[in-house]
Structure 1
C-alpha cells in the first residue's frame, strides 16, 4: 500500500510539473502574440495617421542624388 501511495504521489508530482509547464508555455505564447498584434496595430494606425507616399524615399534619392560623389581620377 505504501509503495502504491508513493508511486501515485510521484506521478501526481510529475503531472503537476507537466501541467504547470504547459500553463507557463501557453501564457508565454499568448503574451507574445498579444505583443506582436499590438506592434502591428501601432504600425497600421501610424500609417493611417501619417500616410507616406510609396515613391517618396526613391524620389528623394533621385532628386538629391547620391550623397557622396567620387572623383573618377
Structure 2
C-alpha cells in the first residue's frame, strides 16, 4: 500500500490568531514548537503565545453602563 501525503510547510505566523494553524501542522508531524522564538518575532510574551497556541479565544467585552452615568449631570454642574 502506498500513501501519498502532501504537507503544506509554508505557514506564516503574523498574529496571535494564526497560532491554531501552527498547532494543526505540529500535531501531524514530529516538530517541537519554540514559543520563545515565536514570541520574540511577534513582540509578545511567550506565555501569551502558548495560550493562543492552545486555541485561546479572546472574549468580547460587555457594554456595561458606568456607575457614574446616573450622576453625570450633577458632576458636570459641580465642575463648571
For the aligned pair, the TM-score class normalised by the smaller chain equals: under 0.3
The structure in which a higher percent of residues are helix is 1
Which fold has the larger relative contact order, with Cα–Cα distance below 8 Å and residues 6 or more apart in sequence? 2
When Rg is computed on C-alpha atoms for both structures, the one with the higher figure is: 1
TM-score, scaled relative to structure 2:
0.26
